[in-house]
Structure 1
Amino acid sequence: MIWRILLSVALALAPGVSHAECECLWQGSFDDVQAETDLVVAAEVIAIKGNSIDLDALQLLRGTLPPVELRVWLEYEEYCRPELGTFPLGSRWVMALDKIESKVSGGFNPNTPNYSYGRIDDYAISNCGGYWLKWEGDAVTGNLVDAPRWDHEPKMTPVLLELIAAYVAGDVSSDALLAASREDPALRELRLNTRAFLRGDEE
């Protein structure tokens, strides 16, 4: 009998169990939302702890990196953030992040210390827009521009990371991103092969 009571308590306090539903409006694709965030990075997930991930920022697109680890807090209670499983260890992403600047009442549970709203000066990522793009090789995919709401993996042609960086820097338009995301894959492959040949990567 006692073990059943303990099991019920453990399940009630279990990390990842939502006690309220997330409710938010879709804020737009990456091209719409990134400018309103504090930090945009191309990074690799190097550690997972509780409902947070640590990133190795391989390329800073905008903002200032923290002096210590770059920690991003994910789904917790009713806060509209992506699930932890969205970002596996070793995966690479372009992320538009918001800095956590104040404590939130009820944001820390001593019974689950590794699961919380997040620490001040760490970062959080929203689920309510195209706040992340999957990065593989030299290109990214995701809800980049003019994509369906709530679809974080729409069908599209991968777009070069260097083009994303240029957009964040204000050097190219969202129209250029849209054109690249709708480019014929065969033409893109030909262009990449030509670039590699000119660099001397191929015989």
Structure 2
Amino acid sequence: MSRALLLVALASLSPWAAAECECLWQGSFDEVQAKTDLVVAAEVASTKGNSIDLNTAQVLRGTLPPVELRVWLAYEDHCRPPTDTFPVGSRWVMALTRIDEKVSGGFNPNTPNYSYGRVGDYMLSNCGGYWLKWEGDAVTGNLVDAPRWDHEPKMTPVLLELIAAFVAGKADSAALLAASQEDPALRELRLNTRAFLRGDEE
């Protein structure tokens, strides 16, 4: 089989990767989250095709669907991150947009596990800081005043409780920026002091 025919065959098997997406950068998390329908802190429970199911630990804004929280990722030229960005067991803060209508060509019966997504589920955009990596009690990512298209900028981890306060309107972008630029040694001292006061350490 020639290389050209091989590429055509692979494209037919991989409709979610058949075309490049084009979109303008919408901003860091602090700028984009308010425009979405649901913001959650959650763990990836399973993956199938170009979708992931989440176990939600905390709803920062919005209402969970009555069934599983399914998020649809990269498909054709729709600007979404690839599924392997979010392995099973990893934890994230995600700002999600609800899928409210069917899209023409959004389902291929030859690849039933790959589609634009079901009405009532959610999708995750790649065109801004729509997700943050959550480890321990803090998050990192394109949170505030970060370079465009860099989803893993160098920064000091910011406490999830501060992210929740921001989404709830109880903190501002300046507080997020200050926390993300905090000296790591001072942050570690502050966290250790809090742990000591709670009696977590001898």
TM-score, structure 1 normalization: 0.95
1:167-189, Cα deviation, whole Å (9 max, x unpaired)? 00000010000000000000000
Q: Percent identity?
A: 81
Unaligned stretches of 5+ residues in structure 1: none
Q: 1:18 Cα deviation (Å)?
A: 2.3
Q: 1:9 Cα deviation (Å)?
A: 6.7
**Aligned partners of 1:194, 1:19: CA distance in 2, in Å?**
52
CA 8–31 in structure 1, closer or farther in 2 if over 3 Å, else same: closer
* Aligned counterparts, 1:75-90, within 5 A: 75-90=74-89
Alignment partner, residue 186 of structure 2: 187
Matched, 1:12 2:11: yes
Matched, 1:167 2:166: yes
Aligned pair count reads 200
Alignment partner, residue 123 of structure 1: 122
1:116-175, Cα deviation, whole Å (9 max, x unpaired)? 000000000000000000000000000000000000000000000000000000000100
SS in structure 1 of the partner of residue 17 of structure 2: coil
Alignment partner, residue 55 of structure 1: 54
**Aligned partners of 2:197, 2:96: CA distance in 1, in Å?**
36
Q: Which amino acid aligns with 2:55?
A: D
CA 25–8 in structure 1, closer or farther in 2 if over 3 Å, else same: closer
Q: Which amino acid aligns with 2:32?
A: V
SS in structure 2 of the partner of residue 190 of structure 1: helix
CA 8–155 in structure 1, closer or farther in 2 if over 3 Å, else same: closer
Question: Does structure 2 conserve the Cα–Cα contact (< 8 Å) formed by 1:13 and 1:111?
Answer: no
**Aligned partners of 2:177, 2:11: CA distance in 1, in Å?**
45
SS in structure 1 of the partner of residue 30 of structure 2: helix
Question: Does structure 2 conserve the Cα–Cα contact (< 8 Å) formed by 1:16 and 1:75?
Answer: no
Alignment partner, residue 39 of structure 1: 38
Runs (4+) of structure 1 exceeding 4 A deviation are: 6-10
Q: Which amino acid aligns with 1:48?
A: T
* Aligned counterparts, 1:141-156, within 5 A: 141-156=140-155
TM-score, structure 2 normalization: 0.95
Unaligned stretches of 5+ residues in structure 2: none
Alignment partner, residue 137 of structure 1: 136
